[in-house]
Chains A and B, each alone.
Chain A
Amino acid sequence: MSAICTSRLGKSYGDTRALCDLDLDIAEGEVYGYLGPNGAGKTTTIRLLLGLHRPTAGRAELFGVDAWSSPVEAHARVAYVAGEPFLWPALTGAETLELLANVRGGTDTAYRSELVERFQLDLDKKIRALSKGNRQKVQLVAALATRADLLLLDEPTAGLDPLMEVAFRDCIKEAKERGQTVFLSSHILSEVEALCDRVGILRSGVLVDEGTLAELRHLSELTVEAAFDGPAPDLGPIDGVRAERAGPSALRFAVSGPVAPLLKALAAQPVTTLTSREPSLEEIFLHHYDAADGGGS
């Protein structure tokens, strides 16, 4: 059974189309990175997955339970971290954790104490006196401590400092080892690259690309640079390769598809150095946004 399954899921607010024909199928135990700039529809997706907003098209299921018609059953195995850490200002951190544990059920209090240590949370401070990052940590500890089968995280590291970001990554890796499913909405590419098995890229409410990092790289272009002993030669047209000058005696190739035809053509040339580099997630991401609207994302 899939942890998350949506079919042709869509949401419009009045005339504004926030999400369109989303098909997700995320297996149990998978760590899924959900990428997109602000306003792409990441939070809308999560609100639909949680049944907080009503889909205008299609449906969403968590562990096979419809998110809109049976939210309570659907949430039984889910923990959620909201993008904006709004909590009850008058409660202290400890009281907030207690309330959330009571309402959610299934909290591992020993693990929670460990998490409090790791995130260096000050539990005696009232929520109203905490910074955004610290409120975010309260939410994270509450969610992680449930050891829920599915963690829905909406930009969970916004406001965290680099040390806490490391602690967060460790926790997600541990969750993965335990077999928990993680849905990580983010626009921090390095975080997604470091943690996720599979990535979906959302643009203006449409899932424009999806796959493992290897698959995404495979579909994207490989960059190969070659330096020559003497002036750069003219190799003529090669299938799936775009060439450009990278200096008086160097060429840069953008290779989509197999690299063999290029190697064959280079074999006859006086090549001194040859480097190749896979595209970073950032390049894949920017590729999708540049292609569509001239760089405006």
Chain B
Amino acid sequence: MAAAASATARRRRVGATLVRRALRDARVRTIGFAYLFLIVAYVNASAYASLYPTLKSRLAFAASFGNNKAVVVFYGKAYDLLTAGGYSAWRVGGTLALFAAVFGIFAAVRALRTEEDAGRSELVLAGRVGRTVAMRSSVAAIALTICALWVGEFAGLALAGLQAGESAYLALATASVAFVFAGVGAVACQFAPSKRGAVQIGLAVFVACFLLRIAADTSHGVEWLRWLTPLGWAEDARPFTGAAPAALIAPVLATVALLLAAALAFRTRDIGSGLFAGRDFSRPHYSLLGSPTAHGLREERGSLLGWVLSLAAVGFVIGFVAKSVNRSVITPSVERELSKFGALRVASPIGYIALSFILVVPAVCAFMCAQMGAARREEEEERLETLFSMPVARLGWLGGRIALALGGAVVVALAAALATWAGAEAAGLHVALGSMLEAGANCLPAAVLFLGVAAFAYAFAPRASSAISYGLLAVAFLWYLFGSLVSVPKWIINATPFAHVGTVPVEPFRGPAALVMVALGIAATLVASVRFRRRDLIGD
């Protein structure tokens, strides 16, 4: 008896250690998401009253945006747009459910598979830790991180003055999505041959669920499809619009079933591989193996395609929705707020496009950071040592990676512009193709600047370079967003490069500012090159 009791105590102790370890691993991501949930919830919920102060403006908004299919695609079905709560349930709940799903997938894969693929779980499982304890600890850690998101959303809604009970319930509906998709991720981890495969399976299920919800919300006669998707269950919980808690039984059952299935599969599979064997064999494809740069393109083409498709999708939606923007949607108070970003005629389709396209600029900058991050991994994982032991010049290699990043940025930016144009055309709105391409090109000077920043960080602090480059990007863009919304002195806002990017096509392209950004980017890249030529390679 004593032995059994001490074994139980030991299992608890080990489990608690593993939970702490997983939480430490997830803390940056979790805090980031919880903060995002808080901000999105607070900003939307509190903006409603000031943007749509009168019943008339609310009715106009509900009549136009609430019934616009393009908008419903994004946020889901709106049940009540005449109250701040109903608006938040639609706008906040609709947006955050998508984020919650993605968070759930990544949290599960990170906790259940990343350690394993790195070979560290073997060390844990080789000790006196059973698989059941290991899995339970990971699941407990995931559940705790999802609770943090719930707290973030609830706090944001409550701080904005919404009723506390309903706010907690809306946040619960969002969290239910995260739980189900964590279950999806957990099952995917058991089947996929690698963590990357698990993420792909998880995201594919997410896209399928998203499409089901879109079909259910936008087409008549197939509303029952909503019952097949966790995103639909969160809608059917009807927070703020006559709560129906019974709808939350489905996510509870689904989560439990998925986790049980994952636990069963985990007991039967080999550590480090999934129940589906990966494609470890392949006939050789000799294209793009001629030089390190060509091979860089080969390694990065998948990721480039991902960037192109996602920004093109965003662009298409922006273009497609634009036509329905008019005076009745953008009230004078909204217009006053938005005009702070510089667009002169926001309450027009073209103004809406110009303003929305400002979001594409930091995305292209982030693409630059990602490209330099990929270059850094070549060094960190010591493949660069193999390349540089051959007649390959360091500067030539770095130049090739920079050229790849620049070429990729042009493709990504122009794809977003073209897709926006195509979206507008598809909705019957005519926008000059030339002016949309100009908007795409308008992203590039800032991208060159951030390429310089990322290259600089990579040359001087390779191990911290991603954190530095993405961090500076986030600070610079949020600085611009919040600085523009809360009226701070002009010179403070002007410290961020994004204040100098014109809202093309409504505003003209700002040549001098673009020139300065490009010059700074090139200068930083040159300094980075000198440093990169002269430093030791990293790696153990």
B195, chain A: closest CB distance, angstroms: 12
Which of A99-107, A216-224, A274-282, A289-297 faces chain B?
A99-107
Q: Among residues 303 to 318 in chain B, which have CB atoms less than 8 Å away from a CB atom of chain A?
A: none
Q: Which of B279, B389, B393 contacts A152 (CB 8 A)?
A: B389
Q: Which of A52, A90, A99, A128 contacts B388 (CB 8 A)?
A: A52
- Distance of A95 Cα from B280 Cα, bound (Å): 13
- A75, B382: Cβ atoms closer than 8 Å: no
Q: Which of B278, B286, B387, B536 contacts A54 (CB 8 A)?
A: B536
Binary contact readout A254-287 vs B (1 if CB under 8 angstroms, 0 otherwise): 0000000000000000000000000000000000
Binary contact readout A72-88 vs B (1 if CB under 8 angstroms, 0 otherwise): 11011011101010111
- B385, A82: Cβ atoms closer than 8 Å: yes
Contact A98/B289 with A53-B537, A87-B383 known, Cβ cut-off 8 Å: yes
- A84, B382: Cβ atoms closer than 8 Å: yes
Report if A50 contacts B (CB, 8 A). Answer: yes
Contact A71/B394 with A53-B536, A88-B383 known, Cβ cut-off 8 Å: yes
Contact A87/B281 with A103-B292, A105-B391 known, Cβ cut-off 8 Å: no
B192, chain A: closest CB distance, angstroms: 14
- Distance of A100 Cα from B383 Cα, bound (Å): 11
Binary contact readout B269-285 vs A (1 if CB under 8 angstroms, 0 otherwise): 00000000011111111
- A54, B282: Cβ atoms closer than 8 Å: no
Report if A171 contacts B (CB, 8 A). Answer: no
Report if B219 contacts A (CB, 8 A). Answer: no
Q: A86 — which chain B residues lie within 8 A by C-beta?
A: 381-383, 385-386
Report if B407 contacts A (CB, 8 A). Answer: no
Contact A95/B286 with A86-B381, A124-B281, A129-B280 known, Cβ cut-off 8 Å: yes
Q: A103 — which chain B residues lie within 8 A by C-beta?
A: 291-292, 387, 390, 392
Q: Among residues 387 to 432 in chain B, which have CB atoms less than 8 Å away from a CB atom of chain A?
A: 387-394
A41, chain B: closest CB distance, angstroms: 14
A215, chain B: closest CB distance, angstroms: 31
Report if A160 contacts B (CB, 8 A). Answer: no
The residue on B at minimum CB distance from A95 is B284
What is the interface of chain B mostly: helix, strand, loop, or mixed? Answer: loop
Q: Which of A73, A88, A139 has the most chain B CB within a 10 Å cutoff? A: A88
Report if B290 contacts A (CB, 8 A). Answer: yes
- A82, B389: Cβ atoms closer than 8 Å: yes
Q: A152 — which chain B residues lie within 8 A by C-beta?
A: 389
Report if A136 contacts B (CB, 8 A). Answer: no
Q: A99 — which chain B residues lie within 8 A by C-beta?
A: 289, 295
- Distance of A128 Cα from B194 Cα, bound (Å): 10
- B389, A90: Cβ atoms closer than 8 Å: no
Q: B390 — which chain A residues lie within 8 A by C-beta?
A: 75, 80, 100, 103-104
Q: A80 — which chain B residues lie within 8 A by C-beta?
A: 386, 389-390
Q: Which of A75, A82, A126 contacts B282 (CB 8 A)?
A: A126
Q: Among residues 156 to 181 in chain A, which have CB atoms less than 8 Å away from a CB atom of chain B?
A: none
Q: A98 — which chain B residues lie within 8 A by C-beta?
A: 284, 286, 289
- Distance of A97 Cα from B278 Cα, bound (Å): 22
Q: B337 — which chain A residues lie within 8 A by C-beta?
A: none
- Distance of A1 Cα from B368 Cα, bound (Å): 46
The residue on B at minimum CB distance from A76 is B391
What is the interface of chain A mostly: helix, strand, loop, or mixed? Answer: mixed
Chain A interface size band reads 35 or more
Q: Which of B289, B383, B393, B394 has the most chain A CB within a 10 Å cutoff? A: B289
Q: Which of B292, B388, B390, B540 has the most chain A CB within a 10 Å cutoff? A: B390
- B289, A50: Cβ atoms closer than 8 Å: no
Q: A71 — which chain B residues lie within 8 A by C-beta?
A: 388, 393-394
Report if B534 contacts A (CB, 8 A). Answer: yes
- A95, B285: Cβ atoms closer than 8 Å: yes
Q: A95 — which chain B residues lie within 8 A by C-beta?
A: 284-286, 289
Q: A185 — which chain B residues lie within 8 A by C-beta?
A: none
- A82, B382: Cβ atoms closer than 8 Å: yes
- Distance of A98 Cα from B290 Cα, bound (Å): 8
B439, chain A: closest CB distance, angstroms: 35
- Distance of A129 Cα from B280 Cα, bound (Å): 6
Report if A206 contacts B (CB, 8 A). Answer: no
Q: Which of A78, A94, A128 contacts B284 (CB 8 A)?
A: A94
- A52, B536: Cβ atoms closer than 8 Å: yes
- Distance of A124 Cα from B282 Cα, bound (Å): 5
Binary contact readout A123-135 vs B (1 if CB under 8 angstroms, 0 otherwise): 1111011000000
Report if B535 contacts A (CB, 8 A). Answer: yes
A48, chain B: closest CB distance, angstroms: 10
- B537, A52: Cβ atoms closer than 8 Å: yes
Report if A92 contacts B (CB, 8 A). Answer: yes
- Distance of A47 Cα from B392 Cα, bound (Å): 15
The residue on B at minimum CB distance from A11 is B536
B485, chain A: closest CB distance, angstroms: 44
Q: B540 — which chain A residues lie within 8 A by C-beta?
A: 84
Contact A102/B290 with A72-B391, A124-B284, A126-B282 known, Cβ cut-off 8 Å: yes
- Distance of A52 Cα from B388 Cα, bound (Å): 7
A12, chain B: closest CB distance, angstroms: 11
Report if B25 contacts A (CB, 8 A). Answer: no
Contact A125/B536 with A80-B389, A87-B383, A103-B387 known, Cβ cut-off 8 Å: no
Q: Among residues 43 to 57 in chain A, which have CB atoms less than 8 Å away from a CB atom of chain B?
A: 47, 50-54
Q: Which residues of A contact B (CB under 8 A)?
A: 47, 50-54, 71-73, 75-76, 78-80, 82, 84, 86-88, 90, 92, 94-95, 98-100, 102-105, 123-126, 128-129, 139, 152
23 pairs across A/B with beta carbons < 8 Å? Answer: A47-B385, A47-B537, A50-B388, A52-B385, A52-B388, A52-B389, A53-B537, A54-B535, A54-B536, A71-B388, A71-B394, A75-B389, A80-B389, A80-B390, A82-B389, A84-B540, A86-B383, A87-B386, A92-B284, A98-B284, A102-B290, A103-B387, A123-B284
A-B contact sample (15 more), CB < 8 A, given A52-B388, A71-B388, A84-B540: A54-B536, A71-B393, A79-B389, A80-B390, A82-B382, A86-B383, A86-B386, A92-B284, A95-B285, A98-B289, A100-B386, A103-B387, A124-B283, A129-B280, A139-B386
Q: Which 6 A-B pairs have the closest CB atoms?
A: A129-B280, A80-B389, A94-B284, A53-B536, A86-B382, A99-B289
